[in-house]
A = this chain, B = another copy of it.
Amino acid sequence: MTDTLIKVDLTKSPTENEMIHNRWHPDIPMACWVKPGDDFILETFDWTGGFIKNNDSADDVRDIDLTTVHYLSGPVGVKGAEPGDLLVVDLLDIGAKPDSLWGFNGFFSKKNGGGFLTDHFPQAQKSIWDFHGMFTSSRHVPGVQFAGLIHPGLIGCLPDKKMLDLWNERETAFIATDPDRVPALACPPFAATAHMGKMTGEAKAKAAAEGARTVPPREHGGNCDIKDLSRGSKIYFPVYVDGAGLSVGDLHFSQGDGEITFCGAIEMAGWVHMKVSLIKGGMAKYGIKNPIFKPSPITPHYNDYIIFEGISVDEHGQQHYLDVHVAYRQACLNAIEYLKKFGYSGAQAHSILGTAPVQGHISGVVDIPNACATLWLPTQIFDFDINPSAAGPVKYLDGSIDMPLSPDL
């Protein structure tokens, strides 16, 4: 039987667990060691460490201290791994914790985190998604259910000191270009809420002050929030330190491309069963700077879509130059307007785009001045016919159910 090398107790704070950390730093000691060829299980908290609850209020989404995230399990040391290697990780399976068969999705208040559509949904909202075996549905978003595309939002190896310094310099300089922006441009190191695994005392204090925040994806992978890094996939990670130091967390039961709701996908506590091996010197052999991966052979295959186009003219009519971010936002807003015609509130429609396995494609990036992006909405996840017809849309929902909203205080 496969060993569970890291266990988490959801009734306790993640900060009490020495095998959990919430910053990136090369000095964080390995939580445990494995050999190439080993397979093992790591349990994880949800990314907020249990702050968001299974209830019908969005107060927790509004009030969360975002300096505390993400609580990661690891780092796992891999014997023989050296800088320049590729660490090959097979995600053999991933699941929810049996005592926590639900997840949450929400939008942060614009004043506390914001998100992709924060100008349209500026206040905290939340939906709870229950897991029924391989499927999920929400009491706050009726009429939709789908199979999970279960994946870690965040996975990667420890940076070395040089990489860490690069990150901190790059992001600090960037913040300095507009330091008062709300939401902020980036998240600088913040010692007060840093949890550095087994570290204590001065060493911890020093590392906490330097430790990179876990929010952005970076060269090592990290918080990529790639929905297709799902159970069954095989990932090749750059190694920067001896032993590699693989950490994982922020598990998602499902997510749409872009994780546009930011808080987040369908966020859950769970476990990851993985196997590791090495390609010695693989970074140079294959010219690898960022991780590469091969997708899983076993994913939900919804293949009938309605596809929404967006171009890089924003919702105020402003022209942007080949801006895929703006174009994708328009495609998402177009899909939300469409879904409202069937009776969904804007928030519910937004939540579907953030949680269901929607695809976001970079469709055209050269036809000046407009980028074109497409949002692919799977039709087979709906309990009713969502296709356009000559007769026009039939309202499936009567508006009696909506997502909890917690206005800013």
Q: Smallest CB-CB separation from A216: which chain B residue?
A: B370
Tell me if B363 and A226 are in contact (CB < 8 A).
Answer: yes
A12 smallest CB distance to B (angstroms)? 19
Tell me if B369 and A171 are in contact (CB < 8 A).
Answer: yes
Contacts of A171 in B (CB 8 A): 319, 369
Q: Smallest CB-CB separation from A181: which chain B residue?
A: B321
Tell me if B309 and A226 are in contact (CB < 8 A).
Answer: yes
Contacts of A321 in B (CB 8 A): 174, 185
Contacts of A334 in B (CB 8 A): 287-290, 292
Tell me if A372 and B217 are in contact (CB < 8 A).
Answer: yes
Tell me if B225 and A362 are in contact (CB < 8 A).
Answer: no
Q: What 0/1 pattern do residues 271 to 310 of A give for CB contact below 8 A with B?
A: 0010101111110011111111111111111111111111
Tell me if B133 and A231 are in contact (CB < 8 A).
Answer: yes
* Contact-residue bracket for chain A: 35 or more
The interface stretch among A17-25, A55-63, A239-247, A382-390 is A382-390
Asked, given contacts A147-B232, A301-B298, A393-B286, whether A225 binds B366 with beta carbons under 8 Å apart, the answer is yes
Bound form: Cα–Cα A179–B39 in Å? 52
Tell me if B132 and A364 are in contact (CB < 8 A).
Answer: no
The interface stretch among A193-201, A203-211, A336-344, A397-405 is A336-344
Chain A residues within 8 Å of B, Cβ to Cβ: 1-2, 39, 86, 91-93, 98-99, 101, 115-116, 132-135, 146-147, 166, 170-171, 173-174, 183-187, 215-219, 221, 223-228, 231-232, 236, 257-262, 264, 273, 275, 277-282, 285-311, 313, 317, 319, 321-325, 328, 330-331, 334, 337-338, 340-341, 359-374, 376, 380, 385, 387-390, 392-393
